[in-house]
Chain A
Amino acid sequence: MSPTMTDAPPSTPSIKRISLGAEPAAAHRNYRVIDAIRSGKTSTPEVHDSLANEEPVIRTKDFCLWYGSAKAIHEVSMSIPRGRVTALIGPSGCGKSTLLRSVNRLNDLIDGVRVSGDMLLNDDPIYSPHVDVIDLRKRLGMVFQKPNPFPKSIYENVVYPLRIDGERRKAVLAEACERCLKAAALWEEVKDRLHESALGLSGGQQQRLCIARAIVAEPEVLLMDEPCSALDPIATLRIEELIHEVSQRYTVLIVTHNMQQAARVSDYTAFMYLGRLVEYGRTADLFQNPRLNETEDYVTGRFG
């Protein structure tokens, strides 16, 4: 199941057990947190101590989100460490994408969304009446599941965040474009056709273009919502390399449903289930030494 790779990122934990068949073992095991969730009692997630030493860039405290009357995120309290890659994993519908989109308040675009609790970006509250949402979004960069370049030229795509900020000096824009395309490992491929339409690129190239666009404004956090799920394995590989390089300079928060990817790419992993945080700690610990049964079963593929 693990694809062979030429340049593996340094910390690749080995998966403990690989399960191929469906084992009806879930019924017998003791799922402390999940049983508490299912029976409606409050559950405290397992947050490893390794996180206490890290400086947080995003902190949430009892963060809740409702879609209308349906509660999607239940009292999530976590802190995302600065300068690291943090992955959010969990089965479909567990709220990881919702949590990610809450960070740059993209959920405001949906009618009927209500939040409570605190979320802080560098100790600035995100959901407070005085917050300028546009300003907040400029401090964050986002990459989506399906690559979404604009129907403009490659150059215009990359400098779009600078243009809407009012930057018009050609020298500044050109320099930023080159820097970010190089960082996204796309420069060599497109430097001769910067003014051609971005829609002429392949899927993987488009996603790298979107990553370049996301980092051009020097964001504080780079948010990635399943960036490789629409790409083929080779393109996925290149994106993962890119994430590794990019993480030297930026904090990355990545949502993925692919556990092996989480294992390859991230420093810290948070496992979510049914809108709640179940376990959160170093990737190596979570995959090799999970504290909860449900975590172990999930990462080995027993359920989800």
Chain B
Amino acid sequence: MLERTGWGIWLGTPRAIYTVALSPLDESKPFEPESTIDLDGRPARVVRDIVESGDVRQLRTRTYLSEGEAETWKAFPSLHAEALARRAEIRTLEKHDIGAINDQIAHAQIALRAVEIAHARNATLRRLSLPLWALIAAGAAACAAIAVVIGRRLSDLPPTRRGFRPVLGRRVAVVLAMGLGLAAWLERPWGNAPVSDAQLAAAREANERTLAELNTQYETTLARKNELARHDESFRVEFVDASGAIAPRAQSSPGDPLALSQIVRAVRANELSATEKLGVYLSRWNEFLTDDPRESNSEGGVFPVIFGTVTMTLLLSILVVPLGVIAALYLREYASQGVITSILRIAINNLAGVPSIVFGMFGLGFFCYTLGGYIDRGPDRALQLAPGIWWIWAAAAVLVVLASLAFAMLSRPVPGQPATSRHRWLGFFTAGFWFAAFALAVFLVAHTPYFHGFFEAKPSETFRGRGLLWASLTLALLTLPVVIVATEEAIAAVPRTMREGSYGCGASKWQTIWRIVLPGAMPGIMTGMILAMARGAGEVAPLMLVGAMKLAPELPFSSSFPFIHADRSFMHLGFHIFDLGFQSPDSEAARPLVWTTTLLLITIVFFLNLAAIFIRSRLRARGGGASI
């Protein structure tokens, strides 16, 4: 029984293995139809004959490496191993060497395009005059110096004895220093120098030279790879089935025998002992788990799928746990329990019930298009403000921040005395100013004329399309309510006596939280993380929109910087099952793979849960019995 890399199983017996070489036929020269040569100390038969393809006649030389069924079966394992090694080498050449050269070519093109874009922007550039810039930079430095001096004087006093005016003055100085420093940085005269025509021409020349070099490298490597492929192709094996036909190399040419490297596995199915059958079964499992998929996902392995699922789940848990824990800490420890916190809790619970496809749409619209588009290309032409107007808005933002700082300081009541209504109103205005400052900051970032995207020169989408990062972020939002609720319960379960004990020892609120409350709540936080991972690993609907692909050309990891490519699409087990079952060209052939992949997904989720339960019980044993 023969398992081929394409077109499935072939039943038959091997007859011979030989290498084939085609050469042009010289009609005038006679040739020896049969001869014997010495191959590694053994005699090997060489047969020559004429083949016609179309109206071209060629001389075919076949060097037999083994003949007859028994000999072929004996020689098969070693020859097959060699063929597989050759195939692996060809693949390495393709992926790494040729891939690296392609990467370098792409980089060169992008570099040139960046220079071209900078040159094109010359026309719209308007630089600040140098004296004015120097004034702004000096102002920034002066404000920073004032802040440092006031800070030094204040640090001699304990925090509660510092006067209102010096503290406010230092904060004003810090904000002004930051604002003026930002202005000086954005309008710096170096680094933003316009690109001259001469520089553009030089860049073009350098680019052409690099491309020529890379192309020659590419040609040599390609030639080498082709040579290897040709050599590999020459190894053929004749498998004869019951009707006498031989297994073909391609469906279109039934007389051309199968190449040795097209065979995945050949076994003498009727003569296998029980252990050997088990061996074949295990080798199939090994292939399933470690190989790449073939035949539009209906054959081969699911290794990249497993990799993508696990990577996404890990990234998801890294993102969701800090967010959830911080939110739960705020709700439980810092926020005053009133109407606002009740509303927040209701909103969080509702978030848990939102259908996951809605999250997918949100992820697509906000993360992929809006945020991703911003990262790639900066604000749209339509959104960019002229620099002058932008600075007016920036000055307004600075004023709002200063007002909020002043109001914040005035709205703090004397410790030990209850807050009066004046304090409440001042606090209300402070909150309003902070919101306004935040909104202004978002506005300024979204409409800035100074940022043109990190990947502006790349012609294709980087972060604007689907990718690992956005998929993990979307699923993190989806599983956030679970983590928040579990963490809140865990924090509330830390007994009050323990907190009082900590305060009695003279700890501050944050020290108590960091040293007593959070470690005590850790089993509950782990529970939340388990539930989030288990839920996130299985959700498919948002991934269909935001990240998963039918067949990803490469893993999200690579050996070149930045090693983790969070902008690449990935494959996911849940999506793979859907794809195999409903979107493959031959669903009958894919059926076994559907079941196996489902089993694998369940097993992975199960082991994730098990691992986290183990971690939780270890923490519980160390902590000496917390309540969750």
Contacts and interface: CB of A to CB of B under 8 A. Distances in A.
A230 B361 CA distance: 58
A164 B503 CA distance: 11
B520 A151 contact: yes
Among the interface residues B495, B502, B505, which one has the most CB atoms of the partner chain A within 10 A? B505
B515 A148 contact: no
Contacts of A152: 519
B112 to A, nearest CB: 55
A197 B418 contact: no
B602 to A, nearest CB: 36
B47 to A, nearest CB: 81
A151 B416 contact: no
Contact of B519 (A134, A151, A161): A151
A127 interface: yes
A123 interface: no
Given A108-B416, A151-B520, A164 B500 contact: no
Interface in B415-458: 415-418
A164 B414 contact: no
Contacts of A197: 622-624
A142 B504 contact: yes
B619 to A, nearest CB: 10
Contacts of A198: 624
Interface string B491-527: 0000101101111111110010001100110000000
Contact of A210 (B501, B506, B515, B624): B501
B504 A106 contact: yes
A217 B508 CA distance: 16
Contacts of A304: none
A146 interface: yes
Contacts of A213: 505
Nearest to A114: B418
B337 to A, nearest CB: 9
Interface in A128-162: 128-135, 137-138, 140-142, 144, 146, 148-152, 160-161
Interface string A241-275: 00000000000000000000000000000000000
B501 A131 contact: no
A134 B624 contact: no
Interface string B135-179: 000000000000000000000001111000000000000000000
Nearest to A115: B416
B625 interface: yes
Interface in B464-511: 495, 497-498, 500-508, 511
B624 A131 contact: no
B278 to A, nearest CB: 48
Contacts of B501: 142, 144, 148-150, 210
Contact of B414 (A115, A129, A160): A129
A192 interface: no
A163 B506 CA distance: 11
Interface in B582-628: 622-626
A127 B417 CA distance: 10
Interface string A197-220: 111100000000010011001000
B144 to A, nearest CB: 28
A6 to B, nearest CB: 31
Contacts of B515: 160, 163-164
Contact of B507 (A151, A164, A200): A164
Contacts of B417: 114, 129
Contacts of A142: 501, 504-505
A165 B506 contact: yes
A302 B464 CA distance: 83
A109 interface: yes
B159 A132 contact: yes
Contacts of B160: 129-132
A148 B505 contact: no
Contacts of B159: 132
B624 A200 contact: yes
Contacts of A137: 503-506
Nearest to A112: B418
A104 B505 CA distance: 10
B504 A144 contact: yes
B625 A161 contact: no
A133 B414 CA distance: 13
Interface string A90-133: 00000000000000101011001011000000000001111111
A171 B248 CA distance: 80
A132 B506 contact: no
A144 B498 contact: no
Contact of B511 (A132, A164, A199): A164
Nearest to B413: A129
Nearest to B159: A132
Nearest to A156: B515
Residue of B158, B161, B506, B624 contacting most chain A CB atoms (<10 Å): B506
Q: In this complex, which of A106, A164, A200 has the most chain B Cβ atoms within 10 angstroms of its Cβ?
A: A164
A286 to B, nearest CB: 28
B506 A217 contact: yes
Contacts of A141: 504-505
B505 A199 contact: no
Contacts of B624: 151, 197-200
B145 to A, nearest CB: 29
Contacts of A114: 417-418
Interface string B397-418: 0000000000000000011111
Task: Choose among B159, B414, B416, B418 the residue with the greatest number of A CB atoms under 10 Å from its CB.
Answer: B416
A147 B292 CA distance: 61
A106 B624 CA distance: 27
Contacts of A150: 498, 501-502, 516
Interface string A33-74: 000000000000000000000000000000000000000000
A104 B504 CA distance: 8
Contacts of B519: 151-152
Contacts of A135: 158, 506
Nearest to A130: B160
A109 B497 CA distance: 12
A204 to B, nearest CB: 17
B504 A130 contact: no
Interface string B545-567: 00000000000000000000000
Interface of B: 158-161, 414-418, 495, 497-498, 500-508, 511, 515-516, 519-520, 622-626
21 contacts: A104-B504, A106-B504, A108-B416, A109-B500, A129-B160, A129-B414, A135-B506, A137-B504, A140-B504, A141-B504, A142-B504, A144-B500, A144-B504, A150-B498, A160-B505, A160-B507, A161-B506, A198-B624, A199-B624, A199-B625, A200-B624
Given A112-B418, A148-B498, A197-B624, 12 more contacts: A106-B504, A129-B414, A129-B417, A130-B158, A132-B159, A132-B160, A137-B503, A137-B504, A138-B506, A142-B504, A148-B501, A151-B623
What are the 7 closest A-B residue pairs judged by CB atoms, nearest first?
A138-B506, A199-B624, A142-B504, A148-B501, A137-B506, A161-B505, A148-B497
